[in-house]
Chains A and B, each alone.
Chain A
Amino acid sequence: MYKEYTQEEFWKLYKDLPLNLKDTLSTEETGNNVEKACQRNEEEGGFSKALNLVGQVLLGLLPPEEFEKTIMEDLSVDEEKAKKISREISRLVFFPVREELSSLYGTEKAVSEGEEISREGKASKDTYREPIE
């Protein structure tokens, strides 16, 4: 779901990220790709929420396999549309950094216990799969 995090929380998560993920988080290109995906599926109004979810995935807070489901819930769209949007975003945004995402969700512990925001989905193996179009 749509998450709001403070600057401290963000910097704490950000500082341990691989360089490529940091770049993806801080480039305008990411927003352009999310916007394109929303526009193609006639969901312009959902851009800011979709961008927030992409940020969560890149920060290690939302596992990529849950991205589609969360899109469906947060943007209030049907399953078909959520699938289309998430596929497009995955192809344009997540695929170039798939290795970093694999290591982030596969082996790394996100943040120490007891913190308000923690990285979820500590899967023991690489669960990220690039959608086949």
Chain B
Amino acid sequence: MKDKVKIFFLIALFCFLFFPQQAEGFVLDLATKQLNALSEVTGPYMAAYIFSFLIFVVGLCALWLSTSLLSWIIAATPEALTVTGGEAYVFIQAGWGFTVGITNLLIVIAFIIIAFSIILGFSKIEVKRALPMLIIVALLVNFTLLFVGMAIDISNFLFNAVLGQFSPEEGNVLFNAVESLFNASDLLIRSFVAGMVARVVQLLIPYVGVAAQVAWTVGFIAILLPMMLQLLTYGIIMLMMSSLFFSYFFIFLARIFIIQILAMLAPLAFFCLIFPQTKKWWNQWLDTLVQWLLVGIVFIFLMYVGLLLAPVVTSTSGFIKPGWPGWMDWFVGDLIGHIILIAYFTVIFFVARRFIPAAASTIISQATGMIKTATPFVGALAKGGIRGYRRSALKSGTEKPLPESIEKQGWARKPIRALQATGRPFRELSSWAVRKGHHLAGTTVEREVAKDNEAKAKEFEGKFADDYKSAVEVYSGKPEDERTETERIGFLQYLSKGGGKALDMLPAERLKSSLDLAVREGDSETVKSIVSQVPELAEGKKEIQDLLECKDMAGVYKMASKSLQQPKDIKNLKPETLKNKEYIKAVIDNKDFKFIQTVGEEIGKEAVENLIEGILKQKEEGIESLQKNIGNLEKNNPMLYRQIEKTPMAQAILRPVYNEIDLKNINKREQNLASRVSRVSDKEELRVSDKEELRKIKEELQNLNDRKNEIEQERESRQRKITQSENKEE
């Protein structure tokens, strides 16, 4: 019986192992079918889950590699960057020896040329002047490697000083800053691997696998989604951080080679010092050397400040409780600090770009490209983000106004203000970091914001040139609140180039709100250029007047009139501005005849008539005040007075004004002649010459009188015209 059972089991085993297809209707078949059905649902999210894990792993590897490389290059720089010793000495010595030989040859040739040109007498003065420099260079050229070596030593000393100052007592400052990322990664990898193993084991057990799949699917949002988000966020942050670290690494590495190449070229650079024509190459060489020496120090300083900022920022970010779900706590607790750190590094990146050598800028450009490719929203962090940071730094200290509905309810204002205040330390800190970074780079936040605005204005100019109408149409197609602040001010700057007429095309509300924005940001240049074209915009706006340092509207008009330099500025003025009494007064008090001439040429005689009326005020005050008003012109703007008196053109186009000046001179002349007459007439006996003088004086007085009559007639004729036009107007 036992044998039969054995044979049966052997046959059954054989069938199980070698039978081509299992029989349908087997009890486990149901479980298989259920698993297959469930995989339709679970497959895609598992794929996404694994993909996010891959991103995470790539990010982790990249971060580890970039941090290691950067740490290594920072540690190696002081030793590697040398031209007078170390391993690099042999090839630098060879290269430098070669250029010294060529330079010595060139010096001999230059010496011969100078000597011959002096002997033959066709030398220019510059050539003679070059001789002492030639001798000095000939002496110095053999010590060039020493000079460059000294400069490198100074740079290395400062580099080491920064390293020593900021290095922590334990560990490496770079690894310390990203340590929390590595620690978190360890936990994430363990969780992921454990979860995957558990899943696989569950799947192997019939029906348990089905139950587990159902459980995973039902708990997708609670279990898998947070994990996926965590993996993706960590992965992207590590990729971004590693891109920045790689860029820094390339800059530090390139710096060593470039400085060494510059050291080898030093003799030729010194030779270029001899002649004025070649001096520009010397300057170029020196600038490049100094910049590359400095760039390392500035980078290391800014970077270390940022790295030391990491723990401070992380602890500060702990106060932020944006009210997210509990399973997002990891984001608030761990990652905001790193995001801020990335933003800081990005700020350094762009700030340092302003003054570092062109080659390093290229590396940064490449890095920016890499970052942008790595993740779509890094572009925003890199460019928009930095703008945002700058602008937030500009706004620091000013609380965001509360909505009107809350402002009205007194009881709600206090707690909300208190809530707002919780974010203040963070804002202040980030603002301080941004400002400090700019300051270290020899610039200011305001200046950089102004540059951004200017770049935007140029972008509009490139797109629309002087077709302001189309520009306004396109710009107005998007609501104001969807435009960035840079766009709004940039567009304003662009329009101001087209003058008051172009600004007038923009809807009044938009113009005012954009101007208010520029005022809030303290962008006095933009505000000035707008108000110069349309001074009326400053009417009743004390903050604009304060920004322009004008006490009142008279000051604004004065500033506006002074700002106009180019004929096109005058042509683009709004007609209302040219009729504005305050503006006319400002022009009369501050501008010269050239301005009035341009007004006549560009605008026409009506505008000149307004200026004449502005000087004489005949309409307002009548003929009686003409001499008083011409006296005011002489007092307030003596240059214009003199120019009208002495210029044939002014005599023609400002005829009534000229007449009044002439009348004033005639009166003086008459007094002068009268005193001469009395002096001659007082003589007891008149000689022939005296009689002749009296005759001449009489003649001249007659001529002056004729001219006075002419002026009187012209005055009256003008008065008649004024009265007529007033009657017409009535």
Contact = CB atoms under 8 A, between A and B. Distances in A.
Nearest to B596: A26
Contact of B653 (A4, A10, A32, A49): A10
Contacts of A8: 605
Interface stretch (A52-60, A97-105, A124-132): A52-60
Interface string B647-687: 11111110100100010011001000000000000000000
Interface stretch (B117-125, B403-411, B638-646): B638-646
Interface centre among A25, A28, A55 (most CB of B within 10 A): A28
A27 B600 contact: no
Given A26-B594, A28-B642, A76-B699, A55 B652 contact: yes
B600 to A, nearest CB: 7
B669 to A, nearest CB: 6
A76 to B, nearest CB: 6
A7 interface: yes
Interface string B626-647: 0000000000000000110111
A31 interface: yes
Interface string A80-111: 00000000000000000000000000000000
A25 B648 contact: yes
Given A26-B593, A44-B669, A76 B703 contact: yes
A48 interface: yes
Contacts of B652: 5, 7, 10, 55
A35 interface: yes
B80 to A, nearest CB: 65
B269 interface: no
B473 interface: no
B696 to A, nearest CB: 9
Nearest to B604: A11
A70 B645 CA distance: 21
B564 interface: no
Nearest to B609: A7
B291 interface: no
A88 to B, nearest CB: 16
Contacts of B642: 28
B700 interface: yes
B581 interface: no
Nearest to A24: B648
Interface in A15-69: 24-28, 30-32, 35, 44-46, 48-49, 51-52, 54-55, 58
Name which of A26, A44, A49 has the most chain B CB atoms within 10 A of its CB. A26
Contacts of B653: 7, 10-11
Contacts of B703: 45-46, 75-76
Nearest to B701: A45
Contacts of A31: 645-648
A16 to B, nearest CB: 13
A49 to B, nearest CB: 8
Nearest to A31: B646
B646 A32 contact: yes
Contacts of A11: 600, 605, 653
Contact of B651 (A24, A27, A45, A52): A52
Given A26-B593, A26-B594, A51 B704 contact: no
The majority secondary structure among interface residues of chain A is helix
A25 B651 CA distance: 10
A35 B651 CA distance: 14
Nearest to A8: B605
B647 A26 contact: yes
A25 B649 contact: yes
B646 A35 contact: yes
B161 to A, nearest CB: 63
Contacts of A75: 703
A26 B699 CA distance: 32
What interface size band does chain B fall in? Answer: 20 to 34
B649 A55 contact: yes
Contacts of B699: 76
A13 B635 CA distance: 33
Contacts of B655: 4, 7
Which of A5, A10, A75 has the largest number of chain B CB atoms within 10 A?
A10
A34 to B, nearest CB: 8
B669 A55 contact: no
Contacts of A49: 707
Q: Which of A25, A32, A54 has the most CB of B within 10 A?
A: A25
Nearest to A2: B710
Contacts of B650: 26
Contacts of A30: 646-648
Nearest to B646: A31
A27 B605 contact: no
Contacts of A7: 600, 605, 608-609, 652-653, 655
Interface in B609-625: 609
Contacts of A28: 593, 642-643, 646-647
B405 to A, nearest CB: 60
Contact of B649 (A26, A44, A46, A76): A26
Contacts of B646: 28, 30-32, 35, 51
Contacts of B643: 28
A48 B707 contact: yes
B597 interface: yes
A7 B594 CA distance: 17
B640 to A, nearest CB: 10
A29 B135 CA distance: 52
Contacts of B605: 7-8, 11
A133 B131 CA distance: 51
A44 B669 CA distance: 9
B648 A55 contact: yes
A21 B322 CA distance: 75
Nearest to B654: A7
A76 B603 CA distance: 39
A25 B666 CA distance: 23
Contacts of B704: 45
Interface in B205-257: none
A54 B648 contact: yes
A66 B260 CA distance: 80
A4 B651 CA distance: 10
Contacts of B597: 26
Given A31-B648, A55-B651, A58-B648, A48 B600 contact: no
A49 B658 CA distance: 12
Nearest to A29: B646
A14 B647 CA distance: 14
Among the interface residues A24, A31, A76, which one has the most CB atoms of the partner chain B within 10 A?
A31
**Nearest 6 interchain pairs by C-beta:** A31-B646, A55-B648, A7-B605, A26-B649, A25-B649, A10-B652
Given A31-B645, A48-B651, A48-B707, 19 more contacts: A4-B655, A8-B605, A10-B649, A10-B652, A10-B653, A11-B600, A14-B649, A25-B647, A26-B593, A26-B594, A27-B647, A28-B642, A28-B646, A31-B647, A35-B646, A45-B703, A45-B704, A48-B662, A75-B703
16 contacts: A7-B608, A10-B653, A11-B605, A25-B648, A25-B649, A26-B593, A26-B650, A28-B647, A30-B646, A30-B648, A31-B648, A32-B646, A51-B646, A55-B648, A55-B652, A75-B703
Interface of A: 4-5, 7-8, 10-11, 14, 24-28, 30-32, 35, 44-46, 48-49, 51-52, 54-55, 58, 75-76
Interface of B: 593-594, 597, 600, 605, 608-609, 642-643, 645-653, 655, 658, 662, 665-666, 669, 699-700, 703-704, 707, 714
